[in-house]
Amino acid sequence: MKKPTLLLALKGIAACALLLIQATAANAQSITIPIETKQNAMVLQVNSEKQLQTVYFGNKLSDKNEYAAIAKSYKAFQSTSEFNPAYTTSGTRNLLEPAISVTHADGNKSLELKYVDHSVTKINDDVNLLSINLKDSLYDFEVTLYYETYYNENVTEQWSVIKHHEKKDVILNKYASANLYLRAGSYWLKHFHGDWAREMKPEEEQLNHGIKTLDSKLGSRADLFQPPIFMVSLNKPATEDEGEVLYGNIEWSGNYRIDLEVDPTNNLRLIAGINNYAADYTLKPGVEFTTPKFVYTLSNKGEGDASRNLQSWARKYKIVDGNGPRLTLLNNWESTYFNFNEDKLAGLLKDTKTLGVDLFLLDDGWFGNKYPRNGDHAGLGDWEVNKAKLPNGIAFLTKTAKEDGVKFGIWVEPEMVNPKSELYEKHPDWIVKQPQRPEYYMRNQLVLDLSNPKVQDYVFSIVDDLFTKNPELAYIKWDCNSLMYNAYSAYETHQGNFYADYVFGLYHVLDRLRAKYPTVPLMLCSGGGGRVDYGALKYFTEYWPSDNTEPIERIFIQWEYSYFYPALTSSNHVTDWGKEPLKFRTDVAMMGKLGFDIVVSKLKPDELTFCQQAVSTYKQFSEAIWHGDQYRLQDPRENDVASIMYVDSAKTKAIMFNYLVNYRYDAGTKLPIRLKGLDPDKIYSVSEVNLFPGTRSSFGSATYSGKFLMTVGINPDVRDGRASVLIGVEEKK
């Protein structure tokens, strides 16, 4: 068997040694391309017709040479179609769901992509980028498939770049990012659905033959009903610590589509990308269309391991300042809504200091003069300070905040407009709506057309002006409360391009902002978790999981999100929602990025003392919560008590959160809960922390080995009356 030619091209590209493993169509028949991470290998192979196929995805082998022999171990089914192309085309031999489907310049709808060559670029010791060029033999049409692997994290990002040099425009009817192929006895899909204040409800089902599609057609806040995250267990549903499971997320903040097809040969074809619903994309000759990335990780050690892989990848490579700290804050949304003025805010700035948090976040309601933003029906789009409420502008507030020794942040919703606004009057052509049809609103607002570069400039300028005029501004909450009805762009020549160009436009604005303000914290808010995905988190430091801050609900919502996103990205605010005591609400908000949205001045003295102590306890354990490993110990869907812990990377400090989620008679912790992720040989002092002033702990404190804590466990004594219990674990030196 011929081996691929090995070319070592040492080029002086800064910080990125270029290692080219190059093979060409001449020796294509013998080409096997293993894509390895620490644990896994995906193996691609070029067949005798120069088609690129996926022959394997699973545990990696120790001898790379053996990958070539995998394919022949699978007896080919007598079949009418090809099931495992690495990027399935349509209009010729393939009769299954395609990854790509096009209409050529001459109207012909056939595409057959043949292997041309491939190369690997070593980005650093952990990251490699494989690119594979494919080309049609009849039409001047090419696709390059990219696989960026993160070796230690067992994570791959996959995307494709599509281009052509035909005589006229080509229409892309489907243009997926990735087309995976998995072989197992059975497949179990866990996906999530929801709506406002009911985000992240999980459902697990066995996939049968045919296609299950997860998608969104909502436009701007695409994942309100169904977020673009999922897991597929192989052979049996994975548990926290056992089983083979694939996690996936399409890094796209717009309409997406993920097809999961169990084919006639019982294998799983997975195709993920932008949704092609109402989105035939017109592509000009010579222009490259880069699809969003599809990120995935495969673990053979269960859901916990898969989520730690994804979380550490996200902190290291994706989210802004993933290894940095986060700001604790006091927000005024639920304490004032739209009803505030300078005096009230001056009081809240003082409260911020009293509470001991880092920043005051001024929410909605600070702008609009002709149409003041005194409710959610007017003013969106008119981003000048409301003179009646804030006669001395934002600069005065940032100055006062500085004098009070706290930072200052502000809310914006720059992609939106109320019909009652000057912006709506001046620029009707900037708004997404059908010109001849009645307008439909979500929360009395419409979406601005970000496919239009002028709108992009406008949105950029809203945030840029805020920073330019107020250099002390330390934080932005970027909201997005409406989905898109009546999707139509007055700017686009081809309406099919609109949905994708909206998101490209949004990312363009965010790219410009990040180029100018690389690290300033930005919260990705969307009236709840209507928008979080890794395409957006590339620009943000955190997201808002839900407007629902009722703490029992939050335990479930935060739990489900935690499979995919690290704790430091989860903005959790203590509010007055729910009947649980302040301690319970605060304990829940501490499992992530802590904030408050309560009336501090109305707290009783012992409540204020508790909050102040909680902020300082949080700071003591924040290294473990923000940058450590997360272990789920007891699932709230299966137990009376939910339990979760975070361990710092040195395994010296950990914190365990326990909550009663079932209030039936005598519910509580009867058995010890085993800890995870500690060093068995270390000795740890274990004690209850974050007690409400005046209460005594029935748990107390003790010293155990890591081995004991992970083998026998501890009983935090959670029950009615002790409904939330936090246990601090520290190495005894």
Residues near ligand GLA (CB under 6 A)? 333, 363-364, 376, 411, 479, 481, 525, 527-528, 544, 547
CB of 683 to ligand GLA, least distance (A): 44
Residues 6+ apart with CB under 8 A from 588: 551, 554, 555, 558, 572, 657, 659, 724
Helix (H, G, I), strand (E, B) or coil at 684: strand
CB of 595 to ligand GLA, least distance (A): 11
How do strand 359-362 and strand 407-412 relate by DSSP bridges?
A: parallel
Q: What angle do helix axes 498-516 and 453-469 make, rounded to 10 degrees? A: 30
For residues 455 and 478, what is the distance between their CA atoms, to the nearest angstrom? 16
For residues 479 and 286, what is the distance between their CA atoms, to the nearest angstrom? 36
Nearer to ligand GLA, 19 or 466 (CB): 466
For residues 92 and 49, what is the distance between their CA atoms, to the nearest angstrom? 14
Nearer to ligand GLA, 257 or 573 (CB): 573
Nearer to ligand GLA, 146 or 478 (CB): 478
Helix (H, G, I), strand (E, B) or coil at 347: helix
CB of 413 to ligand GLA, least distance (A): 7
Nearer to ligand GLA, 150 or 360 (CB): 360
Nearer to ligand GLA, 479 or 533 (CB): 479
Phi, psi of 335 (to 5 degrees): -90, -25
Q: Apex CA 650: angle with CA 646 and CA 654, to 5°?
A: 25
Nearer to ligand GLA, 377 or 514 (CB): 377
CB of 169 to ligand GLA, least distance (A): 40
Q: Apex CA 254: angle with CA 251 and CA 257, to 5°?
A: 75
Give Cα separations from 450 to 221, 266, 383, 457, 460 (angstroms). 13, 43, 17, 9, 11
Give Cα separations from 430 to 425, 427, 454, 491 (angstroms). 10, 5, 8, 8
Contact indicator for 133, 163 with CB cutoff of 8 Å: no
For residues 596 and 544, what is the distance between their CA atoms, to the nearest angstrom? 13
Nearer to ligand GLA, 360 or 708 (CB): 360
Strands of 683-689's sheet in order across: 629-634, 641-647, 653-660, 724-731, 683-689, 701-705
Which residue's structure tokens are 């990312």? 507
Contact indicator for 570, 303 with CB cutoff of 8 Å: no
How many other C-beta atoms lie within 10 A of the C-beta of residue 344? 14
Nearer to ligand GLA, 530 or 566 (CB): 530
CB of 473 to ligand GLA, least distance (A): 17
Phi, psi of 344 (to 5 degrees): -60, -45
SS3 string, 475-507, reads EEEECCCCCCCCCCCCCCCCHHHHHHHHHHHHH
For residues 178 and 514, what is the distance between their CA atoms, to the nearest angstrom? 27
CB of 362 to ligand GLA, least distance (A): 10
Give Cα separations from 251 to 9, 161, 594, 605, 654 (angstroms). 32, 15, 26, 46, 31
CB of 584 to ligand GLA, least distance (A): 21
Nearer to ligand GLA, 411 or 498 (CB): 411
Phi, psi of 443 (to 5 degrees): 50, 45
CB of 545 to ligand GLA, least distance (A): 10
Nearer to ligand GLA, 57 or 543 (CB): 543
How many other C-beta atoms lie within 10 A of the C-beta of residue 245? 26
Nearer to ligand GLA, 548 or 690 (CB): 548
Residue 622 CA neighbour count, 13 Å, CB half: 18
Nearer to ligand GLA, 359 or 525 (CB): 525
Nearer to ligand GLA, 525 or 642 (CB): 525
CB of 221 to ligand GLA, least distance (A): 11
CB of 334 to ligand GLA, least distance (A): 8
CB of 573 to ligand GLA, least distance (A): 8
Contact indicator for 398, 406 with CB cutoff of 8 Å: no
Q: Apex CA 158: angle with CA 157 and CA 161, to 5°?
A: 135
CB of 629 to ligand GLA, least distance (A): 29
For residues 732 and 473, what is the distance between their CA atoms, to the nearest angstrom? 42
For residues 715 and 727, what is the distance between their CA atoms, to the nearest angstrom? 10
Nearer to ligand GLA, 195 or 606 (CB): 195
Dmax (CA) of the chain: 80
CB of 527 to ligand GLA, least distance (A): 4
Cβ-proximal residue to ligand GLA, closest one: 364
CB of 597 to ligand GLA, least distance (A): 8
CB of 333 to ligand GLA, least distance (A): 5
Nearer to ligand GLA, 478 or 708 (CB): 478
SS3 string, 592-652, reads CEEEECCCHHHCCHHHHHHHHHHHHHHHHHHHHHHHCEEEEEECCCCCCEEEEEEECCCCC
Nearer to ligand GLA, 266 or 444 (CB): 444
CB of 557 to ligand GLA, least distance (A): 13
For residues 259 and 281, what is the distance between their CA atoms, to the nearest angstrom? 19
CB of 481 to ligand GLA, least distance (A): 5
Residues 6+ apart with CB under 8 A from 506: 253, 415, 450
Nearer to ligand GLA, 544 or 704 (CB): 544
